[in-house]
Structure 1
Amino acid sequence: MRFALSLCIIVLYAGVQGHHHKDHTDTSEHLDSEKHDHDLKLAVANADFAFNLYHQVASDKGQTNIFFSPVSVSTAFAMLSLAARSKTYSQITETLGFNETVLTEEDIHESFHRLIQKLNAADSELQLSMGNAVFQQEKLKFLAKFLQDLTSYEAQAFTADFHNTTEAIKQINDYVEKQTHGKIVDMMKDIDPRTLLVLVNYIYFKGKWEKPFEADRTTEEDFHVDENTVVRVPMMVRSGMYDIYHDEESHSTIVRLPYKGNASAYLILPENGKMKQVETAFSKETLKMWKSKLRRSSVDLHFPKFSTSATLDLKSTLMKMGIIDIFSDEADLSGITGQRDIKVSEAVHKAAINIDETGTEAAGVTTIEIMPMSLPQTLEINRPFLMAICEHVTHTIIFMGKIVNPTAQ
């Protein structure tokens, strides 16, 4: 894995008719245990939302590449919920999977704060960074509480002149390009001059395979997009020990590719003609079951080397999932300025992924692995497959998707 990254942008503008975070150190074992419990509940809610979002996107997009960061989307809208009131607030939190009998509003934001800190924690083996930014129209006056609450999400604040659309677009795009290490450029093409606020969430991931592929074994092979379409792809090959499981019930094979550090990629390869059946079963519970069934085995793994990106119109997708008022004149985002005259005009998510043999720009790695004498099983990922990239410390699905055609950009 060379890199994976995502970006979520929410644009708010005028046109609607007419939580506080405590940062302190607590040595109490009881409170530490309570925080851990809240963080696990956040992970569960985020996982539920991830799969719900996947199924909605898959329903909309059909048999095309899907790739996104569910935690980027949930973080952006959780941050926006700081300003939401009444029905607008409940639609956001319910769609994100939060239940106030399980997590209070304060618990939600404090748990997101800890999640962001953990994902950004230094890891010499894994490069993972997540951040938020707010671009506000010059002279727009925020409520003091909203500014204070934004610190839960460690959001950087910038002023922008949205009336000067060219300069505002450049300012936001320059920020995005810098934070994504140049991997996402020209994200914003245009912007409404009535815009008052732009919220940005990004996540950047760069991992090195724990067991890198050997570049000299990569060869051009067939990838079967569907019954009538075959494309040629550079196919990486490695023989080694992998955690693998064949699920006869869902007609799929699951293999775990670990990164150096606290993350793994889970690849789910359906049998021919069984993608729909596997997608139907694709859920938080199924992924947990698959993980528990994985067993170490000798595998001759064939996996395509590819780069792809995908853009989601979150406005249409989330409206189908239950977040409706925030995009209409019924929006109540009065927590921003004290007035109910703001709504979300645009919400866009973009993610990109690049997979190669080593996961580094230029590096050579030599590994020695002891193999059993039995013949390895061959797993050829040469047809559409699902994938999920998970961070183990926070139990977070940082990226997920479906690769139908590795050559499609």
Structure 2
Amino acid sequence: MKLVITLSLLLISLEVQCHQLPGHNDDQASQGDKTLLEHPHLSSEEQRQDSSSYLKIGPSNSDFAFTFYRNIASGVGSRNIFFSPISISAAFALLTLGAKSETQSQIHKGLAFNLSVTEENEIHKGFRHLIHALHRPDNKAQVKMGNALFIEQSLKFLPKFLEDVKTFYEAEGFLTNFTIPRAAKRQINDYVQNKTQGKIAHALEDLDPSTILVLVNYIFFKAYWQHPFDTHMIREKDFFVDANTTVKASLMYRKGYYKYLHDEDLSCWVVEIPYKGDATSFFILPDEGKLEHVEGALVKESLSKWIASFKTE
């Protein structure tokens, strides 16, 4: 259960990320995604550079997503995992705008970026393009991702840093009095609740009065299945969490044509269920007893292989 829930969201992010598949090149992307590339505040040359950078950061973001998943999956037991890797990457990439030397290098390494392959400026331009792509008003899948910095009011930040986080990451900055934790916590929680349309009401439970900076990242995702499930077909059935645990769960049913395959190397079944718009989800069902094998062997190349091998029935 853990793997299926996590990867459905993880692969939505990777689908938007558009990491390069065999035969995919920058020219094809720039010609086939003209709407996605339009940015009202950038020149044509800046848009072209952002588009190229967007494709260059894809492999690193994908590597980070799968590595991060494996790291946290190894320590949670049978609990579910639900996260957005692209949100984590964007939030920490933002911090490198204000970091230097060893700190900056460690963040880049943690995010799987190699500066000999992708220059720092390309990383930020790539994320700017990605965030703009996610926020397209014509996208039928509603995705809203953002970052905010809550800064201790007694500190002085370079104006260039605040300008850059706004330019590249659409991030907002707020002065906060952390010496009054209750008021600071309310300020941050109210902000997150507003940005997530009330879905997250208590992002922070406690706040240390010695805090000098809080980095907030939020993501809101709402989409409709391309082929909706009939609510009258929902049935309560047994769901097998693991070999020793069975729970009752509401299961959806629908007859239709979906892309699917069995990955012999990973020992799992994969089915793609598309949303309206540009988003899609991949659900992975490990063969009996093969959950840990799938978790350990899953890499970004797995996605490329699935897309090339899918059959529809």
How does the TM-score come out when normalised to structure 1? 0.65
The AA in structure 2 aligned to 1:180 is T
Amino acid of the structure 2 residue aligned with 1:110: K
Using a 3 Å threshold, how does the CA distance of structure 1 residues 192 and 40 change in structure 2: closer, same or farther?
Answer: same
Q: Identify which of 173, 196, 206 aligns with 1:190.
A: 206
Match of 1:279 among 291, 295, 301: 295
Corresponding position: 1:82 with 2:82: no
Dislocated runs of 4+, deviation >4 Å? 31-34
Match of 1:116 among 131, 146, 151: 131
Unaligned runs of 5+ in 2: 11-39
Do structure 1's residue 293 and structure 2's residue 291 form an aligned pair?
Answer: no
In structure 1, distance between residues paired with 2:142 and 2:149? 24
Q: How does 1:40-119 map to 2 (within 5 A)?
A: 40-119=55-134
Distance 1:40 1:174 in 2: 35
Cα distance in 2 for residues equivalent to 1:40 and 1:225: 37
**Residues 56 and 76 of structure 1, relative CA distance in 2, 3 Å threshold:** same
CA offset digits 1:326-369 (Å, max 9, x no partner): xxxxxxxxxxxxxxxxxxxxxxxxxxxxxxxxxxxxxxxxxxxx
- Is 1:267 paired with 2:267? no
Larger RCO, structures 1/2 (Cα 8 Å, 6+ apart): 1
In 2: Cα distance, 1:266 partner to 1:240 partner: 16
Aligned mates of 2:47, 2:211 — CA distance in 1: 41
Query: Number of residues paired by the alignment?
Result: 277
Residues 127-157 of structure 1: per-residue CA shift (max 9 Å, x gap): 1111111111223211122122212211112
- Which structure: larger Rg? 1
2:104 match: secondary structure: helix
1:25 aligns with 2:42: yes
1:38 aligns with 2:38: no
* Cα shift at 1:36: 2.6
Matched, 1:172 2:172: no
| SS of residue in 1 equivalent to 2:127 | helix
Structure-2 residue corresponding to 1:379: none
Q: What is the CA-CA distance between 1:69 and the residue it aligns to?
A: 0.6
Instruction: For residue 209 of structure 2, give the secondary structure of its aligned residue in structure 1.
Output: coil
What secondary structure is seen at the aligned counterpart in 2 of 1:291? Answer: helix
Structure with higher strand content: 1
Determine the C-alpha separation between the residues in 2 that align with 1:108 and 1:121.
20
The alpha carbon displacement at 1:26 in A equals: 3.5
State the secondary structure of the residue aligned to 2:250.
strand
Q: Which residue number corresponds to residue 206 of structure 1?
A: 222
Deviations 1:109-143 (A, max 9, x none): 11111111111111352111111111112232111
**2: CA distance, partners of 1:49 / 1:102:** 16
User: Any gaps of 5 or more consecutive residues in structure 1?
Assistant: 6-22, 298-409
Give the whole-Å Cα distance in 1 for the aligned partners of 2:265 and 2:130: 35
Question: CA 1:228–1:62 in structure 2 vs 1: closer, same or farther (change >3 Å)?
Answer: closer
Residue number in structure 2 paired with 1:244: 260
The separation in 1 between residues aligned to 2:47 and 2:96, in whole angstroms, is: 25
Letter in 1 for 2:184: A
Question: How far apart, in 2, do the equivalents of 1:249 and 1:108 lie?
Answer: 33
Q: Matched residues, percent identical?
A: 45
Q: Which has the higher helix share?
A: 2
In the TM superposition, residue 179 of structure 1 has moved relative to its aligned partner by 0.9
2:242 & 2:232 partners in 1: Cα distance?
28
Q: In the aligned structure 2, how far is the partner of 1:242 from the partner of 1:103? A: 37
Output aligned runs, 1:335-350, within 5 Å: none
- What is the correspondence of 1:298-317 to structure 2 with a 5 Å cutoff? none
Cα distance in 2 between the residues matched to 1:293 and 1:63: 30
Alpha-carbon distance in structure 1 between the residues aligned to 2:194 and 2:47 = 36
Q: Distance in 1 between matches of 2:305 and 2:134?
A: 25
Q: What SS does structure 2 have at the residue aligned with 1:239?
A: coil
**Residues 180-189 or 209-218, more deviating:** 180-189
Corresponding position of 1:163? 179
- RMSD across aligned positions (CA): 2.0
